[in-house]
A = this chain, B = another copy of it.
Amino acid sequence: MRLICRAFLWTIILFASVQPAAADEGMWMPQQIPQLAQKLKTMGFQGDPKAFADLTGQPMGAVVSLGGCSASFVSPEGLIVTNHHCAVGALQYNSTPQKNLLVDGFLAKTRDEEISNGPGARVLVTQSVKDVTEAITGNIDPDVDDRQRHDTIDKRIKERTAACEAGGLRCQIASFFGGHKYFEIAQLEIQDIRTVYAPAEGIGNFGGETDNWRWPRHTGDWSFFRAYVGKDGKPAPYSKGNVPYRPSRWLKVQPAGLKSGDLVFVAGYPGRTQRHQTYSEVKETTEWSFPRTIKTYQEQIQILEELSKQGTDLEIKAASRLRGLNNTLTNRKGMLEGLVKGGILEKKKATEQELASWIAADPARSKQYGDVLTSLNALQAETEKTRDRDVVFAQLFSASPLLSAAQTAYLLSVEKAKSNDIDREAGYQERDWKRIRENQERLQRTLDARVDRVLLRYAMKFAAELPPDQRITGLDQQVGLRPGMTEAESGKAIQAYLDKLLATPKLADQAYRLSLLEKSTAEITALKDPLVDLVIALDPLYQENREARKRREGAYARLRPRYMQALLAKAGGLVAPDANSTLRVTFGQVKGVDSKDGLFWKPFTTLAGIEQKHTGEGEFDAPDRELEAIKALRAGEKTPYVSKEVEDVPVDFLSTVDTTGGNSGSPTLNGKGELVGLLFDGTFDTIASDFLYDTVRTRSIHVDVRYLLWTMAEVDGAGHLLSEMGVE
Contact = CB atoms under 8 A, between A and B. Distances in A.
Oligomeric state, in number of copies? 2
Interface stretch (A313-321, A462-470, A597-605): A597-605
A645 to B, nearest CB: 13
Contact of A609 (B597, B602, B606, B652): B597
Among A596, A605, A608, chain B packs the most CB atoms within 10 A around the CB of: A596
A217 interface: yes
A652 B597 CA distance: 11
Nearest to A610: B597
A602 B598 contact: yes
A334 interface: no
Interface of A: 215-218, 592, 594, 596-602, 604-606, 608-609, 612, 652
A122 to B, nearest CB: 35
A598 B600 CA distance: 9
18 contacts: A215-B598, A216-B597, A216-B598, A592-B600, A596-B609, A596-B612, A597-B605, A597-B606, A597-B608, A597-B612, A598-B602, A598-B605, A598-B609, A598-B652, A599-B601, A600-B600, A600-B601, A600-B602
Nearest to A653: B598
Contacts of A599: 216, 599-602
Contacts of A597: 216, 218, 605-606, 608-609, 612
A612 to B, nearest CB: 6
A217 B599 CA distance: 10
A318 B612 CA distance: 37
A216 B602 contact: no
Contact of A598 (B594, B596, B598, B601): B601
Given A597-B606, A598-B606, 6 more contacts: A216-B598, A217-B598, A592-B600, A598-B604, A599-B599, A600-B600
Contacts of A598: 215-217, 601-602, 604-606, 609, 652
Contacts of A602: 594, 598-600
Nearest to A215: B598
Contacts of A609: 596-598
A266 to B, nearest CB: 20
A599 B602 CA distance: 6
A612 B215 CA distance: 18
A598 B605 CA distance: 5
Contact of A596 (B216, B592, B594, B596): B216
Contacts of A601: 598-600
A599 B601 CA distance: 5
A688 to B, nearest CB: 15
Contacts of A218: 597
A604 B598 CA distance: 6
Contacts of A608: 597
A527 to B, nearest CB: 57
A606 to B, nearest CB: 6
A597 B603 CA distance: 10
A394 to B, nearest CB: 34
Contacts of A600: 592, 599-602
